[in-house]
Amino acid sequence: MSFDPTPLRWIELDIPHPEGGGRMITLRTDGPFALRPYYRAPGSDQDVDLHLDQRTEDGGLNGCIHCGHPELYTRKVFSKPLGIGIVVGSGLLTLATVGSLGPAAYGFLGVAALADAVLYQFGKEETVCYACSAVHRGFRPVPRHPRFDRTIAERLKFGKSAVMGSAMRDGGTAGAPDPEH
């Protein structure tokens, strides 16, 4: 076990509501070790059991806290409205100035691409379960789960009829390399 002196604060867990309908329940606690083994679903009399055994000793994830599935993927948290605003704003600036600035006006698009890339690079990450789509935020990044892998998603969605599905690794995706495609 490695020691990370950075305190874990305010984890969030978005889990599917037991009554379905695409609704999600957001649980916020003061770190992964403040989670209780079950929660009462809002607007329901059903309890939601959590798989706390999927936490590592130092606050990472071996699998999904909601369903216990060992295959997770990591994705960047990026504000879609902000990204669209950057692209649309730079496009409008380019159109408005192309007559007066000529080809130099296209520099706005380059600046927008650079701003977009910088925001993406320094954005936070969240870990998502392939099986139940639960979203885990604020957990330690070790063990790291790779980015989204279409072959895992195909295997879980279509089972034996999956064309691209690859076999599950022992231990799930914890510490696995990023997919090559």
Task: Reply yes or no on whether the pLDDT at 167 is more than 80.
Answer: no
What is the mean pLDDT of the segment spanning 2-6? Answer: 56
Contact 138, 11 (CB under 8 A): yes
Residue 168's pLDDT is 73
Residues 22-76 have pLDDT tens digits of: 889 999 999 889 999 999 988 888 899 999 999 999 999 999 999 999 999 999 9
Burial class (CB in 10 A: 0-12, 13-18, 19+), 160: exposed
Check: CB of residue 151 under 8 Å from CB of residue 165. Answer: yes
Confidence at 165, pLDDT banded by 50, 70, 90: low
Q: What is the pTM of this model?
A: 0.80
pLDDT in tens, 83-139: 888 888 888 888 888 878 777 778 888 888 888 888 888 888 999 999 999 999 999
Question: Are the beta carbons of 119 and 111 closer than 8 angstroms?
Answer: no
Q: Return the pLDDT at 8.
A: 58
Query: Sorting pLDDT into bands at 50, 70 and 90, what band is 80?
Result: confident
